[in-house]
Chain A
Amino acid sequence: DAGITQSPRYKITETGRQVTLMCHQTWSHSYMFWYRQDLGHGLRLIYYSAAADITDKGEVPDGYVVSRSKTENFPLTLESATRSQTSVYFCASSGLAGNTGELFFGEGSRLTVL
C-alpha cells in the first residue's frame, strides 16, 4: 500500500556518471511525470508519460532520458550527470490527464552531483 515511491531518496554522484532514479506507483495511473525542484525555480517538468511506451519532453528535458515499459514504473536516467543537475527530483502520477486532475507526488529524490 505504498502509493508512489521513489528510490533512492538520497544520492551523491560525480560529474559524468550515469544515474537512474526510480519511480513506482501502485494505483495503475496512466499519467506519470518527473519534476525537478530548485530554489527560485519552483517545480519544473522534465518528462511526462500518458501511458506505457508513450513519453514526451517537458520544459527542461536536456540531459535526461526516460522510459516506461510498464504502467507502474517510470525511471529517470541522467546519462552523464552535471553539477547543474543537482536538485530534488519528484515523480508524480495522476489517474486523469495530468493537466486536469490531482497529482500524487512521491517523497522526492535528492541528488547531489560533485
Chain B
Amino acid sequence: GENVEQHPSTLSVQEGDSAVIKCTYSDSASNYFPWYKQELGKRPQLIIDIRSNVGEKKDQRIAVTLNKTAKHFSLHITETQPEDSAVYFCAVDSGYALNFGKGTSLLVTP
C-alpha cells in the first residue's frame, strides 16, 4: 500500500510559536491529502485537506502546502495555543481508502 512517512513524531513548542509537520508519500497517483487531529481519548477529526490541483490552502491559523513533484505536504499551525496540543495525522488516498502517517504528538506549553 501507499507508504506515508510523517515527521517529527513529537513536537514541543511554546504558545504563540509556529509548528510544522511534514509528510512524504510514495504513490505519484495520489490526489487527496487530509490532516486529522486527535485529542487525548477522542476520535480523529478532519481539520484541513488539500487536493492535487492546489498548492496551498489556509483556514485561519492552519495551512497545508503540497509539493506534488517532491511528493511531500506539510501542516503549518501559526500562533499556537494550548488547545492545539493533540496528535496530528497526515493521510494519503490509496485508491480505496486513506493511508495514515504514524502521527505527531504536538505539545504547546504556555
**One of A44, A100, A108 near B43 (C-beta < 8 A):** A108
Known: A42-B89, A56-B96, A105-B43. A100 touches B101 (CB 8 A): no
Q: Which residue of A lies closest to B90 (CB)?
A: A42
Q: Which residue of A lies closest to B43 (CB)?
A: A105
> What is the number of residues of chain B that contact chain A, defined by CB distance less than 8 Å?
24
B23 to chain A, nearest CB (A): 11
A42 touches B43 (CB 8 A): no
Q: How far is the CA of A33 from the CA of B102 in the complex (A)?
A: 18
B100 touches A98 (CB 8 A): no
B96 touches A99 (CB 8 A): yes
Known: A105-B45, A107-B43, A108-B43. A33 touches B31 (CB 8 A): no
**One of B31, B34, B93 near A102 (C-beta < 8 A):** B34
Q: Which residue of B lies closest to A99 (CB)?
A: B93
**One of A43, A97, A99, A100 near B44 (C-beta < 8 A):** A43
One digit per residue, 1 when the CB lies within 8 angstroms of any chain B CB and 0 when it does not, for chain A 86-114 equals 00001000000111101101111000000
> What is the number of residues of chain A that contact chain B, defined by CB distance less than 8 Å?
24
Interface residues of B (CB under 8 A from A): 1, 6, 31-32, 34, 36, 42-46, 49, 89, 93-103
Could you list 18 further interchain pairs (A-B, Cβ under 8 angstroms) beyond the known A43-B44, A105-B43, A107-B42?
Answer: A33-B97, A35-B100, A40-B102, A42-B101, A42-B102, A44-B100, A45-B1, A48-B96, A56-B96, A59-B1, A98-B96, A99-B98, A100-B31, A102-B34, A102-B46, A103-B44, A105-B45, A106-B43
What are 30 A-to-B residue pairs whose CB atoms are below 8 Å? A33-B97, A35-B100, A40-B102, A41-B102, A42-B6, A42-B100, A43-B89, A44-B100, A45-B1, A45-B97, A45-B99, A48-B97, A56-B96, A58-B97, A59-B1, A59-B99, A90-B43, A99-B32, A99-B94, A99-B96, A100-B93, A102-B34, A102-B49, A103-B36, A103-B44, A105-B43, A105-B44, A106-B43, A107-B42, A107-B43
